[in-house]
A and B are shown apart, each in its own frame.
Chain A
Amino acid sequence: MLLDSYDKENFFDEMFGEDAKAHPHYQKVLERFQRLTTAEYRQKQTAVDLAFMRGGVTFTVYNDNQGTERIFPFDLMPRVIPAKEWDLIERGLIQRITALNMFLDDIYHEQKILRDRVIPPHYVLNAKHFRREFMGCDVPKGIYIHICGTDLIRGRDGGYLVLEDNLRCPSGASYMLENRAALKRAFPNLYQSARVKPVDSYAADLRKALQYAVPQSLGNEQPNVVLLTPGVYNSAYFEHAFLARQMGIPIVEGRDLIVRDARVYMRTTAGLVPVDVIYRRVDDDFLDPSVFRSDSLLGVPGLVSAYRAGNVSLANAIGTGVADDKVIYYFVPRIIKYYLGEEPILPNVETFLASEPKDCAYILENLNKLVVKSANEAGGYGMLMGPWATQEEIEEFRKMIIANPRNFIGQPPISLSRHPTWVSEQEDFEGRHVDLRPYVLYGDKITVNPGGLTRVALRKGSLVVNSSQGGGSKDTWVLHGDD
């Protein structure tokens, strides 16, 4: 039988407890998967892969000028989260986003948190993504972070930790929805009997959150909401088109928009039509070549002046990247405490700041034991995995850290929890490391979609779950109950 020889080894396993018995909330999944033959499993996998390929559920890899479309590898065995665990995650995320949003509002206005010396001011003021020019600029209803995809991990003791706050343009929600649709087709009876919370409302909730962000000047009028994409050649284009279609809003490129008298318009067959809210999947730097990078062809000249004038909303707001900075991450527990007077529900990973002399000394002494990250990189880039790195890589990072300590943090490596994952060479399941990215929306209230994207590092022993570096994904089931 499948999984008979499964070995959780010395890791926290999502499915199996210390006694090597499956947790109650995994019982149904285990029974169903053990009834499968390898032939049946392969057949289901092929059907799912083909459906993704046919539906264009792909991302584009540019190895040559042609661009190859690939599917994001999908593992059929779902990751299951019982209700009581989810309750903790949900409360923790709401707490965290509430505090981070208050933090952004504060640092772009009165900067009380800096004046109170809770965070040394230079960390904020010199952050790469701090937008000084937006000081004093109000955003509709005070919301900066409309959409957030926080990366959570579990260490050896199984406690959930926050690894990263993605506050700019978090991606992956479309895969969460497509994965669910695929799994419902592959295992309809199992899905029904497991009593899983549906994720389908994500697109409708996102649309409501975007509509809620309408500029105050427009009053109660039904806003025109659009999704701004870098274009069809962007690797996440599928997601942009998918979400726009699900929400029923136009997907636009920079060239479809034009700004006149501080108002944004889209060019339609009937002439220019005003745009009120932009769900932008374009980074700050590329939004407006008359203000930011003038070589950007993706952006819309004048967009920022329309934004400043309060005539258009951007989701997320300009300048949220400062709270994404890995150095600011270090301070999030203090941020929560400062604004809410609460202890963080979801703790951070222990972090050392290279810019603090004591921490820096520790980092430099322990480069071979730590994970070192650049403050503003994503996608698993700009990272040193000390215990697995070569001496040259370590020395290279040593130089970079000494040259620019503000740009680095160190963390002890977390041996992420593992999950049974299909390994085709073995024709059986083996443990692979996983993380979890739930999606949080901030509209008239903050909601956390019950599910999220479970990413899995498919390479044996790998801790890197990013799709660009050999990662795959799983459907994530949040149960109504605890078993």
Chain B
Amino acid sequence: MTSSLSAIAPRRSANVMLSRVANSLYWMSRYIERAENISRLLDVNLQLMLDFVPLDDQQLKEHWLPILRSAGDEETFFKHYETANSQSVTEFMTFHEENPNSVLSCLFAARENARQIRDQISLEMFEVLNDCYLFLKSKGARDVWNMGAHDFYEQIKKYSQLFQGLTDSTFPRNEGYEFIQFGKFLERADKTTRILDLKYHILLPQVSDVGGAVDAAQWQAVLRSASALEGYRNFHVADIVPWKVVEFLLFSEEFPRAIRFCLQRVDNFLHLLAGTNKGEYRSEAERAFGRMLSDMNFMRIEDIMNSGLHQYLETIQTALDHMDDFIHQAFMEHPPTDMAAEIRLHQQETQQQQQGLAA
């Protein structure tokens, strides 16, 4: 059902979902997932710095700028800060209210969306987001961060994990659940592509040339940014090898933050929402998405390394953006009401009726 939203649906007494509600559920879910991912990314990179010999300004900038680019808004950043270093970038990406992707902005937006649909989610789910909001609004949040950023990011991740667990155990498995999951996996897939993209430039040109000078700590950090270190070790029982890391985070069908895993879930919920059969894709956006997913079945990591990881990750990001557009157009965005036209329409109708009565 690539629905034409102005069509009149059959009367259903229960389980109808307002488009506005679908939109809020989707964004609530995306924002909290985004906050968790950014928290993890910042936490891991701050810890990574501890392993380095003290870096000069230029080196710091080289480390933090890609991170800033991956999730934040570079332009806004330099409006407020002179240089990119651990302090300035993490502060900007954690607390800055003008950065729409800061942890704080994401969680405020998640909570605001939850408030818009307060009647649709369980009290437990709302309480977690509200607790998180009250924590971030309090002076205590900044204090915790200053005392030790790690504890702060742990706290944020816990809120997100608690929220997702409660969604699992308190939210009915209906259309709303599908929007929540769709949003979560779409966001997660996107963020994993960005974590991988961070390091593409330090990948060695030859796939065969492994175990070289690449800093294992850096790749360990990539894995930890996706909570994937243990998953990787468990899968490979071997040293951390760059191309294997990429392969794992791209292609694993088992690991829940791997891109392919996420895309398969997106595909699954897409079919549930659209009411289509598996393998059936109706719109151009759906077809492009399906093609990309099936390509993954035949691709080898060597192909991707040869043709360029960065380009491949961009392809995925673009397909995800198109999915986002599609879901909005198909389910969430009724053409906005033209109030003036509506008022005219109904006033004319009333006049005609009155004239009819008079005649």
Contact = CB atoms under 8 A, between A and B. Distances in A.
Interface residues of A, number: 45
Given A256-B20, A272-B7, A273-B11, A55 B126 contact: yes
B337 A255 contact: yes
A245 interface: yes
Interface residues of B, number: 48
B119 A55 contact: no
Interface string B293-305: 0000000000000
Contacts of A222: 13
Interface stretch (B48-56, B279-287, B343-351): B343-351
B229 interface: no
Given A55-B126, A222-B13, A252-B18, A269 B331 contact: yes
B12 interface: yes
A271 B343 contact: no
A416 B126 CA distance: 39
A268 B19 contact: yes
A262 B345 CA distance: 11
Contacts of A297: 339
A267 interface: yes
A224 B13 contact: yes
A289 B12 CA distance: 28
A271 B4 contact: yes
Interface string A236-265: 011011101100101111011011001001
B131 interface: yes
A60 to B, nearest CB: 10
A340 interface: no
Given A54-B127, A302-B346, A269 B13 contact: no
Contacts of B343: 289-290, 294, 301
Contacts of A253: 20
B19 A269 contact: yes
Contacts of A302: 342, 345-346, 349
B115 interface: yes
B210 interface: no
Given A301-B339, A302-B342, A302-B345, A238 B11 contact: no
A302 B346 CA distance: 5
Contacts of B206: none
B109 to A, nearest CB: 13
B18 A250 contact: yes
Given A250-B16, A269-B3, A56 B115 contact: yes
A56 B118 contact: yes
**Of A224, A253, A259, A271, most B-chain CB atoms within 10 Å:** A271
Nearest to B348: A290
Nearest to A54: B127
A351 interface: no
B144 interface: no
A272 B10 CA distance: 8
Contacts, number: 132
A56 B130 CA distance: 7
Contact of A245 (B8, B9, B118, B331): B118
Given A251-B119, A268-B17, A271-B6, A55 B130 contact: yes
Nearest to A243: B119
Interface in A288-322: 288-291, 294, 297, 301-302, 305
A82 interface: no
B11 A272 contact: no
A185 B58 CA distance: 58
Nearest to B20: A256
B108 to A, nearest CB: 11
A309 to B, nearest CB: 9
Interface in B311-359: 331-332, 334, 336-337, 339, 342-347, 349-350, 353
A305 B4 CA distance: 26
A268 B9 contact: yes
A274 interface: yes
A273 B342 contact: no
A259 to B, nearest CB: 7
B247 to A, nearest CB: 38
B20 A255 contact: yes
Nearest to A224: B13
Contact of B118 (A241, A270, A294): A241
A251 B17 CA distance: 10
Interface string A270-292: 11111000000000000011110
Nearest to A50: B134
A222 B273 CA distance: 26
B116 A232 contact: yes
Contact of B130 (A54, A237, A251, A256): A54
A15 interface: no
Given A55-B127, A271-B8, A244 B119 contact: yes
Contacts of A290: 342-347, 350
Interface of B: 1, 3-9, 11-14, 16-22, 112, 115-116, 118-120, 123, 126-127, 130-131, 134, 175, 273, 331-332, 334, 336-337, 339, 342-347, 349-350, 353
5 contacts: A55-B130, A256-B19, A272-B8, A273-B12, A290-B342
List 6 tightest A-B contacts by C-beta distance, closest first: A241-B118, A301-B342, A271-B9, A302-B346, A245-B119, A290-B346
Given A253-B20, A294-B343, 18 more contacts: A55-B126, A55-B127, A56-B127, A221-B11, A237-B115, A237-B118, A238-B118, A256-B19, A256-B20, A258-B337, A262-B349, A268-B19, A269-B19, A270-B3, A273-B16, A274-B8, A301-B345, A305-B350
